[in-house]
Amino acid sequence: MPRQSFPRRLGIMVQGFWNGLSKPIRALAPMANVTDAAFRRMIAAKGNPDIIWTEFVSADGLASAGREKLLPDLWFTETERPDVAQFFSAKPELMYQAALLAQELGLDGIDVNMGCPDKGVEKQGAGAALMRNPELAKKIILETKRGAGNLPVSVKTRIGYSENTIKDWLPYLLETEIAAIILHLRTRKEMSKVAAHWEVGREAVDIVNKYSPQGARTLILGNGDCLTTQEAEEKSKEYGLDGVMIGRGIFGNPWLFDKSGRIISSKEKLEAMLEHTKLFSDLYQIDPETGFGLKEFSVMKKHYKAYAHGFDGAKELRIKLMKTKNVSEVEAVTTDWILQNS
């Protein structure tokens, strides 16, 4: 990747909802088979973040015969706004079409995934693989912006593929006049094997400030190893970031973004787990006999591990929950535990 002295300006920056957010911005990370429409509704009801991301969705898939299976990943309600659709692809023309769809569905913004380390995604030339192909990355962003119209476009990426290359990589992105960059503070090679390099966040901020024109600065959010909103505020302040995106901290804790800071009892957690299960089952039309529908009931099992955690008897409860096959069984197990422990 050749070093650039100063990025050219390609297009006009559309800031959209980003311009009206208070700082530090607290964003919910997109996580496949975690932040689905059901869980996003739970999060919005219990303690809404400043921005909610959808699960990441394949633009190639949306242009295929399997389109209808992917559309539920883009469902949202008014309580979740602003809601950003995240797409991935190595084909600019399909990102253009996905952006048109986001407009049609009434979403608030579009995010381009350029950081996913999944081998299947990278094999397509998408996700983290785009860090090795900056010219294609620019084409993808520009086509996404062309399809997005008045919707702001952001990019979620990493500090580099095998090593920290933000001095070269970020100027490429900044050329395209995107509204925001969400920077996972590890390389693709590092995955989650090392601690996030938050000190690189300050370096990224300096690059953005250097290359952004007056009155149209691209925002920069950090991501990685931040589990609470208090940590998010502290890291934003320490490293000069506009905000932080939180992922893993949301597991079993839809109250994560609740500003009251109140303590959640085990009973309330389990009642929320049951509410979440019913919402998931209804929304995705799960057959109680087979466990299949628009999604599989088994998706909920990773949530049960997180909800039933950190209190006496949680391990035994988790074992029972992992054997359940439908809402009725989860309700019976949960209600029995609450009655015995109240």
pLDDT in tens, 86-118: 999 999 999 999 999 999 999 999 999 999 999
The answer, as to whether pTM is greater than 0.75, is yes
pLDDT at 236 over 70: yes
Tell me the chain's radius of gyration from C-alpha atoms: 20
User: Percentage of residues in the chain with pLDDT exceeding 70?
Assistant: 96
pLDDT given for residue 216 in this prediction: 79
25-28 and 153-158 strand pairing:
unpaired
Identify the residue whose tokens are 């476009």.
153
CA distances to 12, 53, 74, 190, 262 from 40, in Å? 31, 9, 11, 29, 21
Q: Taking the CB of residue 306, how many other CB atoms lie within 10 A of it?
A: 17
Q: What is the separation of C-alpha 164 from the centre of its chain, rounded to a whole number of angstroms?
A: 22
pLDDT tens string 170-199: 999 999 999 999 999 999 999 989 999 999
pLDDT tens string 33-88: 899 999 999 999 999 999 999 999 999 999 999 999 999 999 999 999 999 999 99
Q: Where are the domains of the chain?
A: 16-250, 266-340
- Of the residues 25, 57, 114, 116, only one is catalytic, namely 116
Q: Are 53 and 88 in contact (CB under 8 A)?
A: no
- Name the CATH superfamily for 16-250: Aldolase class I (3.20.20.70)
- 116 as an active site residue: the answer is yes
Residue 241, Ramachandran bin (φ over 0: left; ψ between -120 and 50: alpha; else beta) = beta
Positive/negative CA dihedral, 318, 319, 325, 328: negative
pLDDT tens string 2-40: 444 445 566 678 899 999 999 999 999 999 989 999 999
- Mean confidence (pLDDT) of the chain: 94
pLDDT given for residue 5 in this prediction: 46
